[in-house]
Each structure stands twice: as C-alpha cells, then as structure tokens.
Amino acid sequence: MNALKKTTSINNVARALCAAVLAAGLFASPLMMQGASAQSAAPAAATDAKPAAKAKKPPSPGQIALRDRQKKCGAEWKAAKAAGKVEKGMKWPKYWSACNKRLKSAT
C-alpha cells in the first residue's frame, strides 16, 4: 500500500512538472517570435533608408506643365462646384479630362 502512494505521488509530481514545462514553453514562444521579428525588421529598416537618401531627379517640363494644369483645373472645379455650376452627374475625373484637353489646346 505504501508503494502505491509513492507511485501516485511521483505521477502527480511528474504531471505537475510536465504542466509547468508546457506552460513555460507557451509563455516563452510569443516572446521569442517578437524578438525574431524585431531582429528581421531591423536590417530591412536599415536597407530602406539607403534609397531615400538619394537625390530626386527634378521634374521634366511636361510634368511641371501637368501639375500646373491640375492646379488650375482643381481651382476651377472647386469654384464651379461651390457656385452650383457643375453639370448634374459630373464627377472630378470627367471634369479633369475636359479641362485638361481645353488647357492643353490653349497652349
């Protein structure tokens, strides 16, 4: 009978030890993953900084003209929309297309 109690108490200790090891592993697993992702993100951040350091190429004359037309058409669109002079169903892309053609032909 005494041997049976020893075996039962050893089994209980073994179960408790296994449960503790499993709990520790489950607790440590997310912490390990965070450390691994932080280490893998650090080299990527270092390589991302290099291309941003390069000087930008200046815009071409065509790009400058396009931006000017966009600003003019945008201002016209806002003024016409505020005054209620925009045709019913007219949206910005359609207005932009017509305005851009008009400004291009004017130059």
Residue 50 sits at φ, ψ, to 5 deg, of: -65, -50
Residue linked to tokens 């003024």: 79
Residue 67 amino acid letter? R
CB-CB contact of 92 with 77 (8 Å): yes
Residues 65 and 91 in one domain: yes
Q: What is the mean pLDDT of residues 45-67?
A: 79
Q: What is the pLDDT of residues 3-39, one digit of tens each?
A: 666 677 777 777 876 677 667 677 776 766 666 655 5
Q: What is the mean pLDDT of residues 52-70?
A: 91
Q: Would 55 be classed as within a structural domain?
A: no
Residues 67 and 35 in one domain: no
Give residue 46's pLDDT: 52
Q: Would 17 be classed as within a structural domain?
A: yes
Q: Give the domain range for residue 86.
A: 61-106
Sign of CA dihedral 92, 101, 64, 73: negative
CB-CB contact of 59 with 67 (8 Å): yes
Give the contacts of 94 (CB within 8 A, at least 6 positions apart). none
Judged against a pLDDT cut of 90, whether residue 99 lies above it is answered with yes
Q: What is the pTM of this model?
A: 0.48
